[in-house]
Amino acid sequence: MIDPDIGALHEINGHFELGPPKTAASARTISLPPFLIQLLAAYLDTHQHPHVFVTAEQQLLRRSNFARRAMRPAADGNLDTVRPRVRVQPIVPGLHFHGLRHGHKTWMIADGIPEVGQARRLGHGIPNEIREIYSHVSPEVEARLLDALQQRWINALATVRASEGPAIPPPLLLAA
């Protein structure tokens, strides 16, 4: 759930404050597919901080820190780095965090998720006032969305297993 009162981290004059998200539509409950619930549960079993995602030093993540320390290395790899501690293959060079939202939207379109389901999932309003008032995401649409995400995970793991790439890390196999 993205809390309407403290669901966003704001940096004000160099200090962090939890406050409301950017828009009212951003405060929402986001259902997760089974694989992600399993991965998060395994992660949280070893996690002591009150916030789910923090730095190695147990600090709240700044957008810039996350991009530099996690997103860029994961997306771009480190093939150009001389003798890194761990060699990381690029996943999607140049990918930015917001690109994940674009990718998710593209998947929802490909999976036939209705516009209202897409908008609610991404925290958007629906431009047409009548549709905004009278459109709701049914449990069947939510189930279709989660089933589609689960199937994409299963397919991705099968692709990695079939490739000559690195082995799948054990935590990811929990949700296979």
Percentage with pLDDT > 90 across the chain: 32
pTM here?
A: 0.81
- The per-residue pLDDT for range 125-167, each reduced to its tens digit, is 777 766 666 678 889 999 999 999 999 999 988 888 888 766 7
Mark out the alpha helices in 46-134 (DSSP H runs).
63-66, 72-76, 97-110, 115-122, 129-134
Q: Which of 54, 74, 95 is the last residue of a domain?
A: 95
- The per-residue pLDDT for range 3-34, each reduced to its tens digit, is 888 888 888 887 888 889 888 778 888 899 99
Mean pLDDT, the chain, integer:
86
The answer to whether residue 87 is domain-embedded is yes
The answer to whether residue 162 is domain-embedded is no
The answer to whether residue 161 is domain-embedded is no
User: Which residue type, as a one-letter code, is found at position 176?
Assistant: A
What's the confidence (pLDDT) of residue 131? 64
Q: Which of 17-26, 77-86, 108-117 has the lowest mean pLDDT?
A: 17-26
Question: Using CA atoms, how far apart are residues 83 and 95, in angstroms rounded to an integer?
Answer: 24
The answer to whether residue 25 is domain-embedded is yes
Question: Using CA atoms, how far apart are residues 52 and 154, in angstroms rounded to an integer?
Answer: 24
Where in the sequence is the domain holding 24, given as residue range(s)? 1-30
Helices and strands of the chain, counted as H and E runs: 8, 2
The answer to whether residue 16 is domain-embedded is yes
The answer to whether residue 84 is domain-embedded is yes
Q: Which of 31-45, 50-64, 102-116 has the lowest mean pLDDT?
A: 50-64
The answer to whether residue 149 is domain-embedded is no
Q: Taking each helix axis from N to C terminus, what angle separates 139-162 and 97-110, rounded to the nearest 10 degrees?
A: 110
Q: Taking each helix axis from N to C terminus, what angle separates 139-162 and 115-122, rounded to the nearest 10 degrees?
A: 70
CB atoms within 10 A of CB 112: 11
pLDDT of 100 above 80? yes
**Domain total of the chain:** 2
- Closest by CA position to 2, among listed 24, 23, 26, 19: 26
Q: Which of 72, 95, 118 is the last residue of a domain?
A: 95
Question: Using CA atoms, how far apart are residues 120 and 150, in angstroms rounded to an integer?
Answer: 19
pLDDT of 65 above 70? yes
The answer to whether residue 10 is domain-embedded is yes
- pLDDT category, 113, cuts 50, 70, 90? very high
- pLDDT category, 39, cuts 50, 70, 90? very high
Query: Bigger pLDDT: 1 or 34?
Result: 34
Rg, the chain, Cα only: 18
